[in-house]
Structure formats: C-alpha cells, structure tokens
Amino acid sequence: MILAGDVGGTKVDLALYSFENGTLKVARTRKFPAAGYASLQDVVLEFLKDPAVKQDEENVIAACFGCPGPVKDGRLKLTNLPWVLDARELSNILGIEHIFLINDLEANGYGVAELGPSQIFELVQGDRSGVGHRALVAPGTGLGEALLIWNPAARRHIPLASEGGHVDWAPRNPLEVELLEWLWKKFNGRISTERVVSGLGLKNIYEFLRDGKKMDEPEWLRDRMEKEDPNFVIGTTGEDGSCELTAKVLEVFASAFGAECGNMGLKLLCAGGVYLGGGIPPKILKTLQTGVFRQAFLDKGRLSPLLHTIPVRVILEEKCALIGAAAYAEARAAELSGHSERIASQP
C-alpha cells in the first residue's frame, strides 16, 4: 500500500493506494480541514487510526506528500500554515520507512502520466504526435507552475517544481495596461502573474472592472458575492451568461491565462503539450473554448506558428496531485528497496 497526501492551506487530502495490473487503485480516501491540527503527523495519525484504514496500515511501504512551496533536503515550511515538515521526523513518528516531500505542482506533474483519456479534456489539438517537454500551469487559490522535462532515454517526463507563478505580469492590450495601473496602486508596487491568473486574480479583475471601469454590479450579484464564495459566483454566473460583469471577468482572466500558457510553451518548446491544472480551468471550460484563450496563447509575433503545433489539455481529475504523490512514492521506494509494488502487481 502507498500513502499519498495533497497538503493545502485549508485542507489535507489523504489516500491509500494499491496497484492492480500495474495501475494505481484507490483503497481509502479522506479530506481533513487543516485548521485545528498542530501538525501534518496529527492529521495522518488520525487517518491511519480510522477502523476502515487501520487494517491496511501495516501494509504501507511508502508515503509521499505534495505540499505548496519549495522543499529543501526533505524539509519544508508551509506558507499558509504554521507547520514545518521534515521527512525524517515523519518517518520516525509514523513508522513508515520511505517518506518523501515534494512540491504540490511536482506531484501534479507525476499525476499527469497516470491519467486516462476520460480524465483529460483536449482544449487545443495541436500536433498529437509531438514528443517532448510539457508545461503545467495551474490556477487555483494561487498560481502554480511546473516543468515536465522529457527524458528520451527513460521515455518519461521528469517534473520539476518552480515558482513561476510569481514572475512579473506583463499587460498585452490597453485594458490590461489599465488593469496593471489599477493593481499597482492597490498593492503599492510590483504585480506578479498570480495577481491576475488565479482565484485571487478573479477577485482582483472583478474589483477593477467594477470600481475602475465602472461596470454595473447588479444588486443580486452584490448580495451573492457577500454571502457565497466569490470565485464560485464569478465562475458560475460568468459561464452561464447571466451577468455581463462576471462574463467580462472570465474573458479578461482567460486572455491573461492563455498568454501565460503561451509563454510557457515558448520557454520550454512544449512539443508534449501544455496542461492546465488547478481548480479553475475545469470550471470555466465554456469560456476557455470561446477563442479568447487560444488567441492570447498564439499571440507571440513571429513565433506564433510554433504555438500552433502545441496541444493544450485541461486536467479534469481533481485527485491528480494525490495520484502523482502515490506514483512518486512507489517509484522512489522501489529505487531504494529494489522491490516495485507496481511491477509485482502485473501478471
């Protein structure tokens, strides 16, 4: 059995996986609110002592946790939680020999290789025969990015974590120039791409259009924005066309998102495709298909023809990071122990 975790600022998603004919198969899964727990080990110990899980606990041979932020020498200080994680301490406390900590986008990168056709939506076909590097751009609460480097000798992609979501944001048209100036005043200085292409960005764009461009905010919308999750309201009303303001928010967002994905396509020469992860893309598929995303993706001057060959795919599987963490744990444990659970499960 493999223990996998997806650690976020507000929740911890845990799962136990086994292998069946070389394919990961989930055995148990449970989500925990991060608030109220003093450490990750407290969450994991509660998960493992669940009667439904305890029978499998002694069979856990390895664990991996995907976490936001850079991991150095098996240690990580979480940004949005007062937790310091140490792989060696976790191994001793949990009694699991092989425990690994990796960046959450790195975990998503390993998960991509495990997904089937039903778990991916093809937004742009591109050249399906292309083989090479991939990029993963994942707007959720923030903006995560990872590089999936193609290893021709091993015939597989090696995910590399990055903090690319925090690079400088560059406007591309007069409206975005106004948005940049508005954000510059709001945040008193430098603006990163995450300020626009993320859940935080959706709210920033909304406020800019409402307060900076004086777009009408209907009373019913104002009421919903105060009582419900603002990003859910923006996404649903913008997608169904019931509100001009939120539809425009999604249009501006999709354009900036497409431009950033095109940037990644150029930087990595992504013959293997650009993958859209995170919680937002699957919820705004209608907007992403209008052409605004595609136009911005291709708008690279003399290099635009190169972008036409790059496929763009949306990850629909919300457990992608968990799946990737499990795959990573099994592979690394196999390297260290000489025994592969995946290979042993094959006929």
235 and 260 housed in the same domain? yes
Q: How many domains are there within the chain?
A: 2
Residues in the chain with pLDDT values less than 70: 52-58
151 and 279 housed in the same domain? yes
Residue 210's pLDDT is what? 97
CATH number of 261's domain: 3.40.367.20
Other residues' Cβ atoms within 10 Å of the Cβ of residue 89: 16
Helix axes 244-268, 174-187, angle to 10 degrees: 90
DSSP 55-77: HHHTT--EEEEEESS--BTTEEE
* Domain-located, residue 109: no
DSSP state of 283: G
HEC letters along 30-58:
EEEECCCCCCHHHHHHHHHHCHHHHHHHC
* Domain-located, residue 177: yes
* Domain-located, residue 110: no
Residue 56's pLDDT is what? 63
Length of the chain: 347
157 and 248 housed in the same domain? yes
60 and 182 housed in the same domain? no
Which tokens go with 297?
Answer: 């993706």
9: domain range?
2-104+319-344
Torsion angle of the four alpha carbons 123, 141, 113, 298, in this order, in degrees rounded to the nearest 10:
30
Q: Which of 145, 188, 187, 195 has its CA nearest to residue 170? A: 195
CATH number of 61's domain: 3.30.420.40
129 and 92 housed in the same domain? no
291 and 325 housed in the same domain? no
CA distances to 61, 73, 103, 107, 160 from 70, in Å: 25, 10, 6, 12, 11
124 and 259 housed in the same domain? yes
* Domain-located, residue 302: yes
Q: Which amino acid is at 213?
A: K
311 and 323 housed in the same domain? no
3-state secondary structure of 242: coil
Residue 333's pLDDT is what? 92
155 and 26 housed in the same domain? no
DSSP state of 169: P
* Domain-located, residue 111: no
* Domain-located, residue 151: yes
* Domain-located, residue 19: yes
Residue 58's pLDDT is what? 67
Q: Which of 26, 8, 21, 12 has its CA nearest to residue 326? A: 26
Residue 40's pLDDT is what? 93
Q: Which amino acid is at 245?
A: L
What span, in angstroms and rounded, lies between the C-alpha atoms of 143 and 137? 7
124 and 11 housed in the same domain? no
Block residue for tokens 């605004």: 292
Residue 147's pLDDT is what? 97
Residue 75's pLDDT is what? 93
90 and 141 housed in the same domain? no
272 and 326 housed in the same domain? no
CA distances to 31, 198, 249 from 253, in Å: 29, 8, 6
What span, in angstroms and rounded, lies between the C-alpha atoms of 328 and 322? 10
- Measured over the CA atoms of residue 144, residue 150, residue 155 and residue 159, the dihedral's sign is negative
* Domain-located, residue 325: yes
What span, in angstroms and rounded, lies between the C-alpha atoms of 279 and 147? 19
